[in-house]
Amino acid sequence: MALIDFGGEKEDVITSQEFSLDKAREVLKKEKIVVLGYGVQGPAQALNLRDNGIDVIIGQMEGDEYWEKAIKDGFVPGKTLFPIEEAAKQGTIIKMLLSDAGQVAVWPAVKKCLNDGAALYFSHGFAVVYKEQTGIIPPKNVDVILVAPKGSGRSVRLNFLAGNGINSSYAIEQDYTGRAKERTLALGIAIGSGYLFPTTFKKEVYSDLTGERGVLMGCLAGVMEAQYNVLRKNGHSPSEAFNETVEELTQSLIRLVDENGMDWMYSNCSTTAQRGALDWKPRFRDAVAPVFEALYESVANGTETKRVIDVNSAPDYKVKLQKELDAIKNSEMWRAGAAVRALRPERRK
């Protein structure tokens, strides 16, 4: 382990220097790894494992779009691709990478397939932490572990292919075999994590649900809409409003933050921009702080997870979801965005 000072608090992190890929292969060489779900995280983790020389099979609903995607990615029905329950029967490590609602649906079948000493792996603490809502209570004779990449499945795969890695948290909820930690770290390294930092199932799901609804997605989309609408109301063109709201952020400023921090981004902007941003930052922080407090409480008391299970389990969920996504796509703001992206030099070639 490497003891790293994160702004005043030291944490143990694991990199491939402390836990090499060769060591991960050695730990996993006798394991049968089954990835259940080939939707979001499933493809990235399965393909990264395979590319790192780890044997993996996929469990997916036979014949659906994700089954066909797995075939296109080189998994072979009857050899490395099976219906969910049939795949689960073969696993010594079962990766539950279906949607949270999907995990609830398949759990009775998967539970029957867990052999003594198997490892039940999650990339999200949802199912185990909110067990009163999900009904997912692992048996006592298995390891229960977590590796949670801090990025979408697409980002996990693209970073891996680029020779980088998405950072991941890890946790051990139940260590039946005495090997839970080495299994967890081996899987974390084998899926291509940049580094691994410790957490608990509860902390992972609380932070993840807050982040998704907050800065990472919900808050980001909301404040973009608010600024765009104010600019449009005051006579600015769609192109100008979009460029000043989204394009400059994604194509310039956020890259500077990624490169060397927020102060670095500020220092590479005009003194006028610096002064205004420094003056207005506290006002935005204080304005949204109560919203974040309410959001965290909603996560902690189970309100958010109940809604996820109820809404996402509905038979017409995908149809309704597509309508919501289409409404975003077809709004003036994001139609302007499509036009702006089409004008980028690399798109015009």
The half-sphere exposure of 252 on its side-chain side, counting CA atoms within 13 A, is: 10
Instruction: Name 28's Cβ contacts closer than 8 Å, sequence gap at least 6.
Output: 54, 93, 183, 186, 187, 190
Q: Which of 257, 211, 218, 221 is nearest to 337 (CA)?
A: 221
Residue 181 DSSP SS3: helix
Catalytic residue among 50, 124, 157, 213: 124
Residue spans of the domains in the chain: they are 2-199, 212-348
CATH of domain 2-199: 3.40.50.720
Cα 20 to chain centroid distance, Å, stands at 23
Q: Is 145 within 8 Å of 121 (Cβ atoms)? A: yes
Same CATH topology for 2-199 and 212-348? no
Q: Please tell me the predicted confidence (pLDDT) of residue 288.
A: 97
Instruction: Name 71's Cβ contacts closer than 8 Å, sequence gap at least 6.
Output: 77, 81
Cα 194 to chain centroid distance, Å, stands at 14
CA atoms of 309 and 134, how far apart (whole Å):
8
Q: Is 124 a catalytic residue?
A: yes
Q: Please tell me the predicted confidence (pLDDT) of residue 8.
A: 75
Q: Is 211 within 8 Å of 202 (Cβ atoms)? A: no
Parts of the chain with a pLDDT under 50: none
Superfamily of domain 212-348: N-(1-d-carboxylethyl)-l-norvaline Dehydrogenase; domain 2 (1.10.1040.10)
One DSSP character per residue, 29-94 reads TT--EEEE--SSHHHHHHHHHHHTT--EEEE--TTSHHHHHHHHTT--BTTTEE-HHHHHTT-SEE
Helix axes 201-213, 271-300, angle to 10 degrees: 130
Q: How far is residue 218 from each of residues 222, 295, 343, measured CA to CA in Å?
A: 6, 11, 27
